[in-house]
Chains A and B, each alone.
Chain A
Amino acid sequence: MFLRGDQPLPGSRLSLRVAVLSGVALVLFGILFFRLWNLQVISGDEYLAEAKNNRSREFKVIAPRGAILDRDGDVLVDNRTSLALQLNMAKLPEDPAEERAQLARLGELLGMPLRKIRRTIAEEEEVAAGAPVTLKQDVGYELTAYLEENADEFPGVALQRVFVRRYPQGTLAAHLLGSVGEIDEEELKEPLYKGLEPGDEIGKGGVEYSYDRFLRGDPGLTKIQVDAAGQPTPGGQLVSKAPVPGENLKLTIDGDVQAAGEAGLGAYGHGGFISMNIETGEILALGSNPTFDPTDLIEPTQAEVNELYRDPLLAPLVNRATEGVYPTGSIFKIIPALAALENGEITPNEEINDPGQIVIGNQTFKNAGSQAYGPVALVRALEVSSDVYFYTLGARMWDTNELQEWASKLGIARWTGLDLPEEAEGLLPTAEWRNQLFKEGNTDRPWSIGDNVQLATGQGDLQTSPLQMAVAYAALGNGGKIVTPHVGMEIEDAAGRVLREFEPKTRRQVQIDPGYRSAILEGLHQAAQGAEGTGTDVFGGFPIDIAGKTGTAERDGYGDQSWFAALSPYPNPRIVTIATVEQGGFGAEAAAPVVLRLLEAIYEKQVSEEAATSETE
């Protein structure tokens, strides 16, 4: 190669090199043009869509849940707003040491030890992975200001305005209301919660659960144009869908009656009560003791709930009126009475001698206190609660299944259709059931006459709830209608306009002879308020005539279970009221006074009006 600076390069060698370079350049420009064409013209639409998505961020606007009211419109549950401190796990520092330092600093501000923060995070992640973790509700003003000023130091920490359930009446109707919580992974898969996302709140029990779709409301959506840093650009609100608040739920519950029942039951012990309209199934009051404060369930971790309510004997979260199943004692007697009458096993006037005890098979069955009543017919048998009379009925029907058929028809050990998720099915002992158990070797004996004798007095293997007994008594009172008990009355919008009424249909009709019905009712009236009635001590002075029955059930391992069932007013009842008290002793000792308190509340106006008229007279 020979180069001379003042001379041109030899043409042939240069032109080859220039040609090669030109070729390279042509290829390079070709690549750029081809790529540009590909990006912009061929895939342009895709990138445009991506770009549009790129510049907007969606912010969910939480919708307040609907309020829950009692039948008079008094608020049982509503919302208050609260600033919740939430952690967005994805935005925490990646470096474990930095993350630890930040959480520790946050813990100091919140007064939460690091260990507790970690536990909260772990628990919430388990429930709903990916959703922001709420560390603390009700962050105070000073802390809010501090966190906002020093937002840079706390990446991933956000203060979110949230709605928190408020219970202005404290523990009132706690078991009915249920609680609200974040949807968990299992629930997300259910069709019922289609469209919900991790972090959304749903009802977790009681009417919050049953009427969730009305109460829940629709979250709003704000689409904001943002820059690359996620900061909203001025005037960049693209779409905005206002949140639709949840609708209000009005319950059939009468707050005053409910309060009276809870106070009454609270004075006597653990148990449950229910007061229901026998024609419609509307529940006026339904309660359980021990109870709990629903406010405790707002923000707790599962560990805290367990700690609060771990005592299995107390089990305050259990609704004893619907989930508590027990033998019922003598309040069950209306069923063998109906079964025997309707099947011709006895007539209302047939007398059975009650010497205080009876030997059936090789067993001796005694009255309570072995008291002898002599010859008794139906009405008196109910009034004095002659066990021998009903032992005899049970013995007469022992191999017929008539008693079980009638119990089942009246709803014993069957789902009632109640609009609460908390309900127990119970157990109605039948020959078939026990014989099957025996065949499988799960019990020491087959069905015997003694089993039916026990059942006829509401003893033995029977397991039923105050709710089921209320349905059975309602059927007796209304002439055979099996109503669907319910606490949901109507759905209202915020302005109080009724959007929907709940009137569950009668589930089935049982044929009850009106003569038999009135005979039994008369017996019950005598039992509650007659001269020798077992409930007369409690209801003798009650100004309104009622038909009622005491019950005292023996429970293995526990003291006697006290029951009282009342249909009021007599002779044309409208309302059934039942209470039970665990280890309460005789029916008249504990359950009857609870029912009295409920009836007093129900008829308060009537009573005071009558008192007023009698005074003027």
Chain B
Amino acid sequence: MYATRTRSARPEPFSVHVGIVERLGLAHMDWPLMISAIGLVAFSLLTLGQATQHDVPGSPNYFLERQSIYALLGIAGMLLLTRVDYSRFRELRVGIYTFLCVSISLVFVFGFAARGSRRAFELPLFSFQPSELGKLLLVLALAGFVIDGARRGSEVQRTVRYLCLGLFPAALVFLQPDLGTSLVFGAATLAVMYFGGVPWTHFAVIGGVLTALVAVVLVVAPATGFPLLKEYQEERLTSFVNTEEHADGAGYQQTQSVIATGAGGLTGRGDQATQTRLDFVPERHTDFIFAVIGERYGFGGAALVLSLYALLFWRALRISTLSKNAYGTLIAGGIAVSLLFQTFVNVGMNLGIMPITGIPLPLMSYGGSSVLATFLAIGVLQSINVQAHLSQKGRFAW
């Protein structure tokens, strides 16, 4: 011990100083990713704190307090995952996949009905929604299956296998019914396949089938008297095409959110923001929180938020290219695309250019499961980044 001290009495010229940051595993974190995520959740807390003070009688900070706890838990989870080598998840793919499907299925048995659909377990602090965490779990498992099965079967067989693996949990979620999350599952599945090298021609076929499917579900099936979607689902999906006609029904939410956002103008209305404060915009703390931001903080605030999402996506995509292995690339790609998909669909819905699908805005919408799952996903991204640096095998950096 003394000898050691003596030997290192003078620092070696090539030694690396190991500081606190290094010890926490934070040294090789992607800081822009971290900053954008924390920035978004901070913005969420600011908005919830200001816009939902009158929502729960007697506790003005109801949503703020809970979202803060979720955010702290999420950040802790993220930091934890940063230090874990994500590659281990590949070995656990069957377990993860089984857990994913079982937890979603259990909701049918134990879950409570929220507005006519069963999505969540009631836990002491919040209701846990397995499908939110499922977005991450599906990517982790499916990427493992893709890597694992890369040499088995023909290309067509592989594509069909991936699709089945991805679409089975998506179908379970769809039956809850939670159309939005099942679409995210679908997008994540396609993303993993995309990064896994499924040929372009297969995507063309899938695209064709999807188009036909949408046509059947929305046009042919109702016309022949066998509607596949529940009426409210179909109305939500189609009403954005002509919101005026549906101004009192399904189009109401969207009309109101467009008015609210538009009224925000360049600089926002601050506390004069009446639309989102006075209940005109429904679900304003969850699905329509972007409209609240748009009205309160104007184009400045909304554009800042959008920029943070762009930054988030860019860093996620960048990490997919830095990964030390293909598994990391697939995971990062899947996470990146599912974040992009959720962001575009939710913001588009708030701005009246996408249908109402009930997809929360990642890190922004109020909700424990979503915030926690998104932070965990970002933790996985950080892990990929850290591992890439540690292995020094990053191929190129943007």
Residue ranges of A at the interface with B (Cβ–Cβ < 8 Å): 1-9, 11, 13-15, 17-18, 21-22, 25, 28-29, 31-33, 35-37, 39-41, 43-48, 50-52, 54-55, 225-229, 233
Between-chain CB contacts (< 8 Å), 25 pairs: A8-B325, A14-B329, A15-B321, A17-B195, A29-B344, A32-B348, A36-B261, A36-B302, A39-B351, A40-B262, A40-B294, A44-B262, A44-B263, A46-B262, A47-B260, A51-B262, A51-B263, A54-B256, A54-B274, A55-B275, A227-B278, A227-B280, A228-B256, A228-B282, A233-B278
Closest A residue to B276 by beta carbon equals A51
Are B274 and A51 closer than 8 Å at their CB atoms? yes
How many interface contacts (CB-CB < 8 Å) are there between A and B? 163
A33 pairs with B303, CB closer than 8 A: yes
Residues 81-107 of chain B, each 1 if its beta carbon lies under 8 Å from chain A, else 0: 000000100100000000000000000
Contacts of B340 in A (CB 8 A): 25, 28
Q: Hey, which chain B residues are within 8 Å of A17, CB to CB?
A: 194-195
Cβ A229 vs Cβ B326 within 8 A: no
A36 touches B326 (CB 8 A): no
Report the bound CA distance from A14 to B320 in whole Å: 9
Q: Does B229 contact A (CB under 8 A)?
A: no
Contact at A44–B329, with CB atoms within 8 Å? no
**Contact A228–B150 (Cβ < 8 Å):** no
Contacts of A35 in B (CB 8 A): 348, 351-353
B79 to chain A, nearest CB (A): 26
Chain B contact residues: helix, strand, loop or mixed: helix
- The answer to whether B279 has its CB under 8 Å from any CB of chain A is yes
- Complex Cα gap A9–B294 (Å): 41
Cβ of B14 < 8 Å from any Cβ of A? no
Q: How far is the CA of A46 from the CA of B262 in the complex (A)?
A: 8
With CB as the reference atom, state the residue of chain A lying closest to B328. Answer: A8
Asked whether B266 lies within 8 Å of A36 as measured between CB atoms, the reply is no
Using known A-B contacts A3-B146, A29-B306, determine if residue A48 contacts B280 with beta carbons closer than 8 Å: no
Q: 1/0 contact trace for B174-209 toward A, CB 8 Å?
A: 000000000000000000001111010000000000
A8–B394 Cα gap in the complex (Å)?
A: 9
Q: Considering the complex of A and B, which 7 residue pairs feature the smallest CB-CB distances, nearest first?
A: A47-B262, A44-B265, A3-B150, A51-B263, A5-B147, A227-B279, A1-B197
- Complexed CA–CA distance, A594 and B19 (Å): 121
How far is it, in angstroms, between the C-alpha of A13 and the C-alpha of B281 when the chains are bound? 45
Cβ-defined partner of A36 (8 Å) among B150, B259, B303, B323: B303
Query: Is A22's CB under 8 angstroms from B275's CB?
Result: no
Cβ–Cβ < 8 Å partners of A39 in chain B: 258, 261-262, 294, 351-352
Q: Is B395 an interface residue (CB 8 A)?
A: yes
Interface residue from A29, A37, A226 paired with B310 (Cβ < 8 Å): A29
Given contacts A18-B320, A31-B353, contact A51 B259 (CB under 8 A): yes
B residues 322-339 touching A (CB-CB < 8 Å):
323-327, 329, 333, 336-337
| Contact size range, B | 35 or more
CB distance from B86 to the nearest CB of A (A): 12
Known contacts A18-B320, A21-B194, A233-B278; is-contact A43 B155 (Cβ 8 Å): no
Q: Contacts A9-B329, A47-B262 known; A40 to B197 CB distance under 8 Å? A: no
A residues near B197, Cβ cutoff 8 Å: 1, 3, 9, 13
The answer to whether A55 and B278 touch (CB under 8 A), given A8-B395, A40-B265, A40-B266, is: yes
Q: Does B298 contact A (CB under 8 A)?
A: yes
Q: How far is the CA of A11 from the CA of B317 in the complex (A)?
A: 14
A388 to B60, CA, bound (A): 102
Binding site for A on B (CB under 8 A): 87, 90, 144, 146-148, 150-151, 155, 194-197, 199, 256, 258-266, 269, 274-275, 278-282, 294-295, 298-299, 302-303, 306, 309-310, 313, 317, 320-321, 323-327, 329, 333, 336-337, 340, 344, 347-348, 351-353, 393, 395-396
Cβ A8 vs Cβ B260 within 8 A: no
Residues in B with CB closer than 8 Å to A233 are 278
Is B321 a contact of A41 with CB atoms below 8 Å?
Answer: no
- Would A55 and B280 be within 8 Å (CB), given that A18-B320, A28-B340, A33-B306 are in contact? yes
Q: Residues of A contacting B262 with CB < 8 Å? A: 39-40, 43-44, 46-48, 50-51
Contacts of A7 in B (CB 8 A): 325-326
Chain A min CB distance to B302 (Å): 5
Residue numbers in B under 8 Å from A51 (CB-CB): 259-260, 262-263, 274-275, 295
Note all chain B residues with C-beta closer than 8 A to A22: 317
Additional pairs, 13, CB under 8 Å, beyond known A3-B151, A21-B194, A31-B348 = A2-B151, A8-B326, A14-B195, A14-B321, A22-B317, A25-B340, A32-B344, A35-B353, A36-B303, A40-B294, A47-B258, A48-B265, A227-B280
**Is the Cβ of A3 less than 8 Å from the Cβ of B263?**
no
A50 to B274, CA, bound (A): 11
Give the distance to chain A from B322, nearest Cβ to Cβ, in Å.
9
Residue in A1, A6, A47, A225 whose beta carbon sits within 8 Å of that of B150 in the complex: A1
B275 touches A18 (CB 8 A): no
- Residues from chain A with a CB closer than 8 A to the CB of B87 are 5-6
Cβ–Cβ contact B337 & A21, under 8 A? yes
Give Cα distance in the complex from A32 to B333, angstroms: 21
Q: A51-B260, A54-B259 are in contact. Are A36 and B325 (CB under 8 A)?
A: no
Q: A40-B264, A40-B298, A43-B262 are in contact. Are A3 and B275 (CB under 8 A)?
A: no
Chain A residues within 8 Å of B309, by CB? 29
Residue of B nearest to A3 (CB): B150
On chain B, the residues within 8 Å of A29 by CB distance are 306, 309-310, 344
> In the complex, which residues of chain B have a beta carbon less than 8 angstroms from the beta carbon of A3?
146-147, 150-151, 196-197, 326
Assess A36 versus B299: contact at CB under 8 Å? Given A7-B326, A44-B265, A54-B275: yes
Q: Is the CB of A228 within 8 A of B294?
A: no
Question: B residues within 8 A CB of A41?
Answer: 265-266, 299
Q: How distant is the Cα of A22 from the Cα of B262 in the complex, in angstroms?
A: 29
Q: Which residues of A contact B263 (CB under 8 A)?
A: 44, 47-48, 50-51
- What is the CB-to-nearest-CB distance from B350 to chain A, in angstroms, rounded to a whole number? 9
Pick the most buried of B194, B195, B348: most chain A CB atoms within 10 A of its CB. B195
With A8-B325, A17-B195 as given contacts, are A228 and B278 in contact (CB-CB < 8 Å)? yes
Q: A25 and B317: CB pair below 8 A?
A: yes
Q: Which residue of chain B has the shortest Cβ distance to A29 in the bound complex?
A: B310
A54 shortest CB reach to chain B, Å: 6
Tell whether, in the assembled complex, residue A54 and residue B280 are in contact, meaning their CB atoms are under 8 Å apart. Answer: yes
Name the A residues within 8 Å of B195 (CB-CB): 9, 14, 17
Contact A4 B258 (CB under 8 A): no
- The reply to whether B327 and A5 form a contact with Cβ atoms under 8 Å apart is yes
Whole-angstrom distance between the Cβ of A4 and the nearest chain B Cβ: 6
Q: How far is the CB of B247 from chain A (nearest CB, A)?
A: 11
Partner of A228 from the list B151, B264, B280, B302 (CB cut-off 8 Å) is B280
- A40 with B299: CB separation less than 8 A: yes
Shortest B224–chain A CB gap in Å is 25
Contact: A32 with B347, CB < 8 Å? yes
With A11-B395, A44-B264, A48-B262 as given contacts, are A37 and B299 in contact (CB-CB < 8 Å)? yes
Q: A31-B353, A36-B306 are in contact. Are A5 and B299 (CB under 8 A)?
A: no
A32 near B280: Cβ-Cβ < 8 Å: no
Q: Which of B144, B260, B326 interacts with A9 by CB under 8 Å? A: B326
* Chain B residues with CB under 8 A of A6: 87, 325, 327
A54 contacts across to B, CB distance below 8 A: 256, 259, 274-275, 280
| B326–A225 touching, CB < 8 Å | no
Q: Which of B197, B295, B340: most chain A Cβ within 10 A?
A: B197
Which residues of the other chain, B, contact A32 by a CB distance below 8 angstroms? 306, 344, 347-348, 351
Q: A52 — which chain B residues lie within 8 A by C-beta?
A: 274
Task: For B258, list chain A residues within 8 Å (CB).
Answer: 39, 47
What distance in Å separates the Cβ of B301 from its nearest Cβ neighbour in chain A?
10
Closest B residue to A56 by beta carbon equals: B274
Measured in the bound complex, the distance between the Cα atoms of B261 and A46 in whole Å is 11
A46 to B265, CA, bound (A): 10
Q: In the bound complex, what is the Cα–Cα distance between A228 and B337 (angstroms)?
A: 36
Contact between chains at B396 and A11 (CB < 8 Å): yes
- Taking a contact as CB atoms under 8 Å apart, the answer to whether B320 and A225 are in contact is no
Q: Residue on A with the closest CB to B344?
A: A28
Q: From A32, which residue of chain B is reached at the shortest CB distance?
A: B347
